[in-house]
C-alpha cells in the first residue's frame, strides 16, 4: 500500500528546492503525517512519492507497482562468503595508519527474516560520514574536515545466528541542499541481502533521540511512527566496552520468506 499513493503536497512543489524553508518543509511533513494518521490504514513502508524530499519528485514511479508472483530466480539470492569479505573489513577504525577522530562505537545486531529466522552468512555493507559529518566522496562539498584516518566503508558477513558487528566512529549530522538550512540526522547507510532477492534492502540506521528526526524528510518518508522507530538503533550498555567504545544495537528485519517448503529444499 501507499508507496505510490497520490501525494497531496506534490502538485504545488517542484524538484527545485532552493526557496523552501525548514518551516515549509516541516509543514508539508506534518500534513502528510496527519493525512496518514486520519487514514486508519496501516502503511509500514517507505513512501516513494514524498514531495518534502525534493529529489524524489521526478524519481518515483507514478504508476502503481505491479503485483507479481516471484519467479524462482527472485526467490533465490546471490551467495557471498569468505572469498568476498575479510573479517577485518568490519573494523572501520583500522583502515589507515592512525586512529580516526571521534566517538568510537560498536554497532551490532542481527539480520532476520519476517518470521524472525536468522539470515546466515549473508552480506552486510555500510558507509557513513566521519565524526564531523563529512563523506569521503568527491561530491561531498560540506566544508567540514576530512579525517585522513577514516574512510567510512565496511563490510561483514552475518554469522550462524544472523549476527553482524562493526566497530566504527559515530557519524556527525551534515547539511544538504533539500531546502534552506537542511540537516540530515546522523546515520549509517546499510545495504543488506536476504535469502531471496525480494528481501533486498538498502536503508539507514539512525541514533536514538536525534533532535533532527522531525525536520528530516527522508526519515519522515516512513509515515508510520512505529515503522520509523525500526530504523533507530538502541543504546546498549551490554555492547559498550570499558575504556574503549559505546555500543548500539540494531536488528534488521527483512520481508517475509516467500518460498514454499518445496522450494526451500531445492
Partner 1 sequence: MSASRTPTPGQTVGPFFGYALPFDGDHELVPTSHPGALRLHGTVYDGDGAPVPDALVEVWQRDPAGELVRQQGSLRRDAYTFTGWGRCATDPTGHFAFTTLRPGASGQAAPFFALTVFARGLLDRLFTRAYLPGDDAVSNQALANDPLLVSLPAERRGTLVAVADEHGLVFDVHLQGDAETVFLAFPGGPGR
- Binding of partner 1 at residue 87 (CB under 8 A)? no
Query: Which one among 90, 218, 233, 239 touches partner 1, defined by CB under 8 A?
Result: 218
Pairing mode of beta strands 174-176, 123-128:
unpaired
Q: Is 117 a catalytic residue?
A: no
The least CB distance from residue 261 to partner 1, in Å, is 11
Binding to partner 1 (CB under 8 A) within 115-134 occurs at 115-116, 123, 125-127, 129
- Alpha-carbon dihedral of residues 91, 92, 95, 100, nearest 10 degrees? -130
User: How does strand 104-112 pair with strand 246-249?
Assistant: parallel
Q: Which of 7, 158, 195, 198 is the binder for partner 1 (CB under 8 A)?
A: 198
Q: Which stretch binds partner 1 (CB under 8 A): 38-46, 91-99, 164-172, 238-246?
A: 38-46
Q: Are 18 and 183 in contact (CB under 8 A)?
A: no
User: Which residues, in sequence order, are bridge partners of residue 241?
Assistant: 245
**For residues 219-258, which are near partner 1 according to CB under 8 A?**
219, 221-222, 226-228, 230-231, 252-258
Residue in 135, 164, 206, 248 annotated catalytic: 135
Window 137-156: residues binding partner 1 (CB under 8 A):
137-140, 151-153, 155
What residues between 50 and 69 interact with partner 1 by CB under 8 A?
50, 53, 55-69
* Catalytically annotated residue among 179, 184, 206, 248: 184
Q: How far is CA 224 from the centre of its chain?
A: 16
Q: How far is the CB of 43 from partner 1 (least distance, A)?
A: 9
**Distance between CA 67 and CA 10 in Å, rounded?**
24
Strand pairing partners for 91?
167
The residues pairing with 108 across neighbouring beta strands, listed in sequence order, are: 165, 249
- Find the binding residues for partner 1 in span 166-185 (CB under 8 A): none
Of the candidate residues 6, 83, 238, 243, the single one contacting partner 1 (CB under 8 A): 83
Residue 217 near residue 98 (C-beta atoms within 8 A): no
Is 53 assigned a catalytic role? no
184 is an active site residue: yes
For residues 21 and 27, give the distance between their C-alpha atoms in angstroms, rounded to a whole number: 10
Nearer of residues 66 and 97 to partner 1, judged by Cβ? 66
For residues 25 and 181, give the distance between their C-alpha atoms in angstroms, rounded to a whole number: 11
Is-catalytic flag, 110?
Answer: no
**CA-CA distances (angstroms) from residue 242 to 94, 98, 120, 208, 228?**
19, 21, 29, 21, 31
* Least distance CB 256 / partner 1 (angstroms): 3
Element (H, E) at 27: helix 22-39
Of the pair 63, 242, the CB lying nearest partner 1 is at 63
Which residues does the annotation mark as catalytic?
A: 135, 174, 184, 187, 189
Amino acid at each position: 500500500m501507499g508507496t505510490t499513493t497520490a501525494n497531496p503536497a506534490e502538485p504545488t512543489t517542484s524538484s527545485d528546492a532552493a526557496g523552501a524553508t525548514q518551516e515549509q518543509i516541516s509543514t508539508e511533513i506534518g500534513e502528510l503525517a496527519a493525512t496518514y494518521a486520519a487514514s486508519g490504514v496501516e502503511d509500514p513502508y517507505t513512501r516513494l512519492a514524498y514531495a518534502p524530499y525534493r529529489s524524489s519528485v521526478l524519481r518515483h514511479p507514478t504508476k502503481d507497482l505491479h503485483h507479481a508472483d516471484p519467479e524462482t530466480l527472485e526467490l533465490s539470492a546471490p551467495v557471498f562468503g569468505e572469498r568476498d569479505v575479510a573479517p577485518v573489513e568490519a573494523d572501520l577504525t583500522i583502515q589507515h595508519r592512525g586512529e580516526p577522530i571521534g566517538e568510537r562505537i560498536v554497532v551490532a545486531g542481527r539480520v532476520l527474516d519476517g518470521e524472525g529466522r536468522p539470515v546466515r552468512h549473508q552480506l552486510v555493507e555500510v558507509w557513513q560520514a566521519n565524526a564531523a559529518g563529512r563523506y569521503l566522496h568527491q561530491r561531498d562539498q560540506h566544508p567540514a574536515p576530512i579525517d585522513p584516518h577514516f574512510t567510512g566503508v565496511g563490510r561483514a558477513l552475518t554469522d550462524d545466528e544472523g549476527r553482524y558487528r562493526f566497530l566504527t566512529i559515530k557519524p556527525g549530522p551534515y547539511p544538504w541542499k533539500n531546502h534552506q538550512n537542511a540537516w540530515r540526522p546522523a546515520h549509517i547507510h546499510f545495504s543488506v541481502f536476504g535469502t531471496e532477492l525480494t528481501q533486498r534492502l538498502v536503508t539507514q540506521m539512525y541514533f536514538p533521540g536525534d533532535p533532527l528526526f522531525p525536520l528530516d524528510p527522508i526519515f519522515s518518508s516512513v509515515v508510520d511512527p512505529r515503522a520509523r522507530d525500526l530504523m533507530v538503533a538502541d543504546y546498549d550498555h551490554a555492547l559498550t566496552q570499558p575504556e574503549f567504545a559505546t555500543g548500539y544495537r540494531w536488528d534488521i528485519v527483512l520481508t517475509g520468506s516467500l518460498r514454499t517448503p518445496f522450494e526451500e529444499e531445492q
